[in-house]
């Protein structure tokens, strides 16, 4: 059963000329567009932008930044973000700090809520909430609908930013597919190849500013072009490596393609699409792709358009979350240690696949039926 939360009030009253900090997702166009909309709406009142993620390490880094910013009597908008039970203490610590300093918390998210515990925590501390699986709006669109519109700031630029995010997040296609691909590559280059979290923040902030400045021509920005080119240069050997570590399994009639990258990571959609193509080249149509990023310790699921697998339930088995068609999780520590041992890689791949089969098979109904317990 899906959990959702809705708590709304007068947005103008909440903001009340306060300074604003935006905390949003670091890995995709939706997060960048959410930040860009905040930049357009608030201008100089936007006193900080923090790019975060669902993983515990990123949440810890975000908490450190927020503690350093130490906002008082401000508004902190969390957009396009989610967390699981393993991060509840981290988020509660952040929420308590913000509330102790008389800040307003706005939570706008469109992912499946991981548990009742997560729901209760958000309800306890946030002053304005839209949360839960949303098939119509992505994160940036929620910012546009619930922030820009009530403030009378929903202009042509905001509408275009929301459209870019929607088209990307729901895997739609139009004449700007190539532009968005380049943008996605630039974003991936910033978070995959940065030396540290500060460099991640600096790079993504440059991209968000460029997108906010001109959402129709961001592809002409020199930094975005340079970052996209950097990613494209690095993806070739990674795709070759991925092709050498690919496995196709069958669970209750569902064909699942699994691939491992050890020496680096591809952008998630890029990696999963490559796995789908590798399966097709071998004469098999995959219902789902699982991309294992060993260096980052994460697994990423993408479900084919014509498959009715609910990937959220599969990700939650390993403490992850996401959407029915796209989700992710952290690799169990024992398996990750094996995968990171150069002398155990092949054995570790097989151990990982065996664990996946054992955990997922009971959740998967036979082909052409939905995942059970949905």
Question: 50, 23 in Cβ contact below 8 A?
Answer: yes
**Rounded Cα distance, 126 and 94, in Å:** 12
Task: Give the relative orientation of helices 177-192 and 29-42 as an angle to the nearest 10 degrees.
Answer: 90
- H helices of the chain, in order, are 11-15, 29-42, 56-69, 88-100, 116-125, 139-143, 156-169, 177-192, 197-213, 222-244, 268-281, 311-317, 333-339, 345-360
- Rounded mean pLDDT, 50-78: 96
Position 313 scores a pLDDT of 92
Q: How confident is the model at residue 341 (pLDDT cuts 50, 70, 90)?
A: very high
**pLDDT, averaged across the chain:** 94
Q: How confident is the model at residue 370 (pLDDT cuts 50, 70, 90)?
A: very low
- Rounded mean pLDDT, 278-306: 96
What domains can be seen in the chain, in order of their start residue?
Answer: 5-228 (3.90.1640), 245-363 (3.10.310)
Question: 141, 171 in Cβ contact below 8 A?
Answer: no
- Rounded mean pLDDT, 259-279: 96
Position 3 scores a pLDDT of 85
Position 329 scores a pLDDT of 94
Position 53 scores a pLDDT of 94
- Rounded mean pLDDT, 137-157: 97
Position 374 scores a pLDDT of 41
- Rounded mean pLDDT, 102-115: 96
Nearest C-alpha neighbor of 120 from the set 15, 13, 7, 22: 7
Q: Identify which has the larger pLDDT, 100 or 368.
A: 100
- Residue 188, pLDDT > 90, answer yes
Q: How confident is the model at residue 13 (pLDDT cuts 50, 70, 90)?
A: very high
> From edge to edge, which strands make up the β-sheet containing 46-52?
5-7, 128-131, 104-108, 75-79, 20-25, 46-52
**Rounded Cα distance, 168 and 321, in Å:** 19
- Rounded mean pLDDT, 177-197: 96
- Rounded mean pLDDT, 262-281: 96
- Residue 70, pLDDT > 60, answer yes
**Rounded Cα distance, 352 and 363, in Å:** 17
């Amino acid at each position: 059963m899906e959990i959702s939360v809705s708590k709304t009030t007068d947005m103008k009253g909440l903001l009340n000329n306060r300074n604003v900090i935006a905390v949003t997702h670091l890995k995709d166009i939706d997060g960048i567009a959410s930040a860009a909309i905040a930049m357009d709406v608030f201008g100089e009142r936007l006193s900080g932008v923090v790019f975060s993620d669902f993983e515990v390490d990123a949440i810890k880094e975000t908490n450190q930044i927020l503690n350093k910013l130490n906002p008082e009597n401000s508004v902190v908008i969390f957009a396009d973000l989610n967390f699981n039970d393993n991060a509840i203490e981290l988020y509660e610590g952040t929420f308590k700090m913000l509330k102790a300093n008389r800040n307003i918390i706005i939570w706008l998210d469109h992912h499946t809520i991981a548990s009742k515990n997560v729901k209760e925590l958000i309800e306890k501390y946030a002053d304005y909430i839209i949360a839960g699986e949303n098939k119509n709006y992505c994160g940036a669109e929620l910012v546009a609908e619930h922030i820009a519109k009530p403030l009378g700031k929903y202009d042509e630029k905001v509408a275009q930013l929301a459209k870019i995010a929607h088209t990307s997040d729901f895997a739609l296609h139009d004449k700007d597919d190539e532009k968005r691909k380049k943008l996605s590559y630039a974003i991936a280059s910033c978070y995959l190849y940065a030396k540290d979290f500060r460099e991640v923040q600096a790079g993504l902030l440059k991209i968000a500013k460029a997108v906010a400045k001109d959402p129709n021509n961001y592809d002409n920005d020199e930094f975005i072009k340079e970052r996209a080119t950097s990613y494209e240069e690095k993806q070739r050997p990674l795709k070759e490596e991925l092709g050498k570590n690919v496995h196709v399994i069958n669970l209750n009639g569902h064909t699942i393609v699994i691939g491992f990258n050890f020496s680096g990571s591809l952008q998630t959609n890029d990696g999963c699409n490559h796995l789908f193509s590798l399966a097709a080249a071998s004469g098999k149509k995959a219902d789902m792709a699982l991309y294992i990023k060993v260096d980052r310790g994460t697994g990423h699921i993408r479900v084919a358009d014509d498959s009715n697998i609910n990937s959220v339930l599969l990700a939650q088995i390993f403490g992850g979350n996401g959407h029915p068609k796209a989700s992710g999780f952290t690799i169990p520590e024992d398996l990750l240690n094996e995968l990171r041992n150069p002398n155990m890689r092949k054995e570790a791949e097989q151990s990982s696949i065996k664990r996946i089969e054992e955990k997922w098979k009971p959740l998967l109904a036979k082909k052409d039926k939905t995942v059970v317990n949905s």
